[in-house]
Structure 1
Amino acid sequence: MNPSSFTLVLFFFTLVLGLAVRSLKSKKPKGQLPPGPPVIGNLFHLIFNRLSHVWIHCLMEKMQTEIACFRFSGINVITVTSSEIAREVLREKDEALADRSESYSSDLISHGYREVIFSSYGESWKRMKKVMTTQLMSPTMLNKTLGDRTLEADNIVTYVFNLSRSGSMTKPINVRDVILTYCHAVMMRMMFGQRHFDEVAHDGGLGLKEKEHMDAIYRALDCFYSFNVTNYIPFLRGWNIGGEEAEVREAVDIINRCNDPIIHERMNLWRKKGGKETKEDWLDTLITLKDDQGMPLFTFDEIRAQCKDINVATIDNTMNNVEWTIAEMLNHPEILDKAISELDMVVGKDRLVQESDIQQLNYIKACSRESFRLHPANAFIPPHRARQDTTLAGYFIPKGSQVLVSRVGLGRNPKIWDEANVFKPERHLDGRVGSSMEVTLMEPEMRFVIFSTGRRGCAGTKIGTSMTIMLLARLLQGFEWTLLNGKNQVELVHANSNLFMAKPLLACAKHRLAPNLYPKIKI
């Protein structure tokens, strides 16, 4: 160990020891906290266990508990892997646990908590959530933007069609790149009314600036979901411990450089030049909303924060889910065949699947649900923070505690799921076979987490469902997917920083529809 590393370790050890002693001296809680490891060492283990979520889940399994309390500095972090307790968190005690925890990453991404995802519960948050629900995600707006989503669904099948014909039939296609191309393009169309920032990529893929933008969104999200020591020791913020603060600053700067010129130009158009005939996208809506006095409802910083919310909310779940689902299907050809058979029966091969068909695609939705259960994008949902003293499962939860519902703990809990580690879409069809009951991506019983629920639940469940199932259905209907030559299985390994596939999925695609059904790329 070199001298500088030794000094850093010594600094952290001294800091952690001092904070642990302070924690022991803190006032006695008003009731019994959930079980947890000894107070001394929690923060030390957090610092030196890079995969913090693995360490937390292993400890909970060793303690044989579905609710645990970890003491990180002066903050109680409560982790939950039980569906019953998860329902208590997100439904029964929803209002008491509706706050958000502050961190360097969330503050920077949200421009000082001026939006919906990261802001604490209060009147400002309620105002923004109402706009998100009743304006941007309203049935009227989603119907209005249907054409944008359909256009990009057309573009993506033609993009893959062109890729599959550009070389030999065994040329590998980067499935993740295809998925991200669709997700980013749909988000851009609905938010800004355009597919590209500057230069157009005529092949149907993303340009360099779009790729840089998307990469920055993912890096910012990784920083937000990390268990950084500064999340629990605020006075260390700004010191760039571990380099993460520089990482999130760079990512947010890139997102701003991409988004801000469009926002400035559009605000100038609406507020100084008289606007245009109709409001065409989400940005138009945010800029033109008025308060009770007829003044603009949102400032520039609030609008750019809301746009960043949309950036981070519309990409990761769909990308992660569709990639894992196709990977699992390639490893289970019988499941892939069933999904194709459903598409051929419901839609046929004479037209492309549309959003209006999604209601009838129960098996494909069951496959998507199973991937959400087994392969969430991140180990925990965003942390909830106790606004007041409360209880969970009979344990005392002090005001200011962080509560983390585990996506992994719920989705792979053997008390909830038979053969919990096996990909079995049929489990989501129980009680629906031969009936008219529709499979949905909602999970009100919290047996696993897709969009969450309650006050902090996702406002975009309908658009999230539409994007995910539409993309999956288009890729399955349009192409015969096979493993690369020499491969008999896809290696199902998740990444370290998040739970995406560790390596992008590569597969071969052969078109299975008439060539005239693959439209020309429309930029």
Structure 2
Amino acid sequence: MEAIPWAISLATILASILLLKTLLRSHRRRLNLPPGPKPWPIIGNLNLIGALPHRSIHALAQKYGPIVQLRLGSVPVVVGSSVDMVKLFLKTHDLNFASRPKLAAGKYTTYNYSDITWSPYGPYWRQARKMCLMELFSAKRLDSCEYIRVEEMRLLLRNLYQASGRTITLKDYLSTVSLDVISRMVLGRKYFDDLESAEEFRKMTEEWFLLNGVVVNIGDYIPWLDFLDLQGYIKRMKELSKKFDIFLEHVLDEHKEKRLREGEGFVAKDMVDVLLQQAEDPSLEVKIERHGVKAFTQDLLVGGTESSAVTVEWAISELLKHPELLEKATEELDRVIGRDRWVEEKDMLKLPYIEAIMKETMRMHPVAPLLTQRLAREDCTVAGYDIPAGTRVLVNMWTIQRDPAIWDGPDEFRPERFIGSSVDIKGQDFKLLPFGSGRRMCPGYALGLKVIQVSLANLLHGFAWKLPDGVKVEELSMEEIFGLSTPRKVPLEAVIQPKLPAHLYVV
């Protein structure tokens, strides 16, 4: 008789669980979710994401429309693939989608989400953003560092001059000049004077971008499999983090010692000095710890090194495939600049065709074809569809920037489309967002534009370009690899010959 109450209690509990599940299922059915493919048990739609996720998701958008609901593992993901959808996510509802999901990359490669890229929306991120805009990337600071960009550009041109007539791997030279510019601006000096250390850092940067751009790390979507690290990504993230930390510790120790030596008369000379000063500011809403300074420094280094090199390499690749466009660019440079000096930053306003080449490169080969993932902070309705809190949001700029409804001949490289065009690349025109938009837009875009424009202009102004002997234009591969940036799969090789008087190549 004593077992009967126990049995009744158990039956009541089971009935309550079943009722709760029924109610939850009923609630889910009432949600008006965006259209999308039916998910499989456990893996969801992970099977539909290939090695180039932006292209896989593009195919889904062609089938289901400009807003698509996916389930990757156990995680709901919504993808926007039209100008209207992007405007809703990045402008109308920007605040609600201003946070980041807690992915393995942010945990293991950015000091547990302590950087600008992966830190969640809140006081810490707002403080970091303000510091970037007001201190690190202010117009005054960028102008004060122009001499660094000029010196390193001249050194690049000299090095290329010495390699003229031989086949070069362009990315090696571009990465070196980008690294040297950003090292001097951020760290105060070059830390990679020898080829071996520069090559090692370049590989670290490429690995960082690849791992931070991984769309399908299984543990991020099927948490109970996380400990297995089935793809080996977490192991690689931890190894990379250790390498960066050894270097960043050395940088911070060196800067601390310099400040102690100079005492009260110390004046901040580089961005790490500024970061260390900011970290000691008692008025900060959230204290910046040492690991935060390292995370910000790492962001500045890798972001400033990779993206500009990738864009310029794609631009030269496209011009080699289209010699008639290369000739137009050369004609403009000869007419506006002449052949007795190099291109300066102030010249760019007078070089609309060079600017058009840059914009067209960013359209066809976006550094970030899928903008870094965002997270719905609260339940929201977008275009009539329910987006529950916790949903991850992807924006597929690759689809938008190749949309035939927006661009005439979207798969053709046509810089002329931007001549006389008002299309903006600074986050206000949702047809072309190389640096993102809204609160999470890249804070260093102004520096990136300066480096890309002047690098491209001077490379075209100073040298005649051709493919190596035996390589036909139609054989030049334009394949890409996916990460947080999207570089060429096969680095570009070319042969150059100087065009200007020899004395200009002497630093």
TM-score by length of 1: 0.86
Does the C-alpha gap of structure 1 residues 284 and 419 become closer, same or farther in structure 2, counting only changes over 3 Å? same
The answer for unaligned runs of 5 or more in structure 1 is 1-20, 202-206, 433-438
Letter in 1 for 2:175: L
| 1:178 paired to 2:179 | no
The residue matched to 1:351 in structure 2 has which SS? coil
Which deviates further from its counterpart, 253-262 or 131-140? 253-262
Distance of 1:411 and 1:402 partners within structure 2: 22
Aligned to 2:373: 383
Does the C-alpha gap of structure 1 residues 294 and 430 become closer, same or farther in structure 2, counting only changes over 3 Å? closer
Distance of 1:404 and 1:347 partners within structure 2: 42
The alpha carbon displacement at 1:73 in A equals 3.0
Does the C-alpha gap of structure 1 residues 385 and 45 become closer, same or farther in structure 2, counting only changes over 3 Å? closer
Does the C-alpha gap of structure 1 residues 443 and 349 become closer, same or farther in structure 2, counting only changes over 3 Å? farther
The alpha carbon displacement at 1:510 in A equals 0.3
The alpha carbon displacement at 1:95 in A equals 0.3
| 1:346 paired to 2:336 | yes
* Pairing 1:152-301 to 2, within 5 Å after superposition: 152-164=152-164, 169=165, 171-197=166-192, 200-201=193-194, 207-226=195-214, 227-270=216-259, 274=263, 277-289=266-278, 290-292=280-282, 298-301=288-291
- Aligned partner of 1:505 among 492, 498, 503: 492
Distance of 1:271 and 1:302 partners within structure 2: 21
Aligned to 2:135: 135
8 Å CA contact 2:425–2:433 kept in 1: the answer is: no
Does the C-alpha gap of structure 1 residues 398 and 127 become closer, same or farther in structure 2, counting only changes over 3 Å? same
* Pairing 1:137-152 to 2, within 5 Å after superposition: 137-152=137-152
| Cα deviations by residue, 1:153-187 (Å, 9 ceiling, x for unpaired) | 111101101111xxxx3x21111111111111111
Distance of 1:31 and 1:317 partners within structure 2: 40
Number of equivalences: 480
Letter in 2 for 1:98: A
Does the C-alpha gap of structure 1 residues 127 and 29 become closer, same or farther in structure 2, counting only changes over 3 Å? farther
* Pairing 1:12-31 to 2, within 5 Å after superposition: 27-28=27-28, 31=31
- Aligned partner of 2:469 among 482, 485, 489: 485
Aligned to 2:12: none
Distance of 1:448 and 1:296 partners within structure 2: 34
Distance of 1:382 and 1:143 partners within structure 2: 29
Aligned to 2:17: none
The alpha carbon displacement at 1:291 in A equals 2.4
The alpha carbon displacement at 1:294 in A equals 9.1
Does the C-alpha gap of structure 1 residues 293 and 315 become closer, same or farther in structure 2, counting only changes over 3 Å? closer
| Cα deviations by residue, 1:491-513 (Å, 9 ceiling, x for unpaired) | 24323434321111111100001
Distance of 1:370 and 1:41 partners within structure 2: 42
Letter in 1 for 2:60: L
Letter in 1 for 2:470: G
8 Å CA contact 1:191–1:281 kept in 2: the answer is: yes
Percent identical residues: 28
Does the C-alpha gap of structure 1 residues 388 and 341 become closer, same or farther in structure 2, counting only changes over 3 Å? same
Aligned to 2:13: none
| Cα deviations by residue, 1:311-330 (Å, 9 ceiling, x for unpaired) | 23212321221111111111
The answer for unaligned runs of 5 or more in structure 2 is 1-20
RMSD of aligned C-alpha atoms?
2.4
Letter in 2 for 1:192: L
Aligned to 2:61: 60
Distance of 2:378 and 2:463 partners within structure 1: 53
The alpha carbon displacement at 1:364 in A equals 0.7
Does the C-alpha gap of structure 1 residues 110 and 467 become closer, same or farther in structure 2, counting only changes over 3 Å? same
Which deviates further from its counterpart, 109-118 or 489-498? 489-498
The residue matched to 1:510 in structure 2 has which SS? strand
Distance of 1:41 and 1:315 partners within structure 2: 41
Letter in 2 for 1:34: P
Distance of 2:383 and 2:252 partners within structure 1: 46
- Aligned partner of 1:463 among 447, 459, 466: 447
Distance of 2:36 and 2:424 partners within structure 1: 36
Does the C-alpha gap of structure 1 residues 157 and 67 become closer, same or farther in structure 2, counting only changes over 3 Å? same
Does the C-alpha gap of structure 1 residues 213 and 25 become closer, same or farther in structure 2, counting only changes over 3 Å? farther
| Cα deviations by residue, 1:262-316 (Å, 9 ceiling, x for unpaired) | 1122124326862764211111111122424599963211110001111232123
| 1:449 paired to 2:433 | yes
The alpha carbon displacement at 1:223 in A equals 1.3
8 Å CA contact 1:320–1:376 kept in 2: the answer is: no
Aligned to 1:473: 457
Distance of 1:260 and 1:187 partners within structure 2: 18
The alpha carbon displacement at 1:49 in A equals 4.7
The residue matched to 2:263 in structure 1 has which SS? coil
The residue matched to 1:43 in structure 2 has which SS? coil
Distance of 2:319 and 2:500 partners within structure 1: 20
The alpha carbon displacement at 1:431 in A equals 4.6
Aligned to 2:5: none
8 Å CA contact 1:320–1:500 kept in 2: the answer is: yes
- Aligned partner of 2:411 among 403, 421, 428: 421
8 Å CA contact 2:425–2:432 kept in 1: the answer is: no
Does the C-alpha gap of structure 1 residues 482 and 271 become closer, same or farther in structure 2, counting only changes over 3 Å? same
Letter in 1 for 2:159: Y
The alpha carbon displacement at 1:389 in A equals 1.0
Distance of 2:262 and 2:269 partners within structure 1: 17
Letter in 1 for 2:342: L
* Pairing 1:106-145 to 2, within 5 Å after superposition: 106-145=106-145
Letter in 2 for 1:229: I
Letter in 2 for 1:88: L
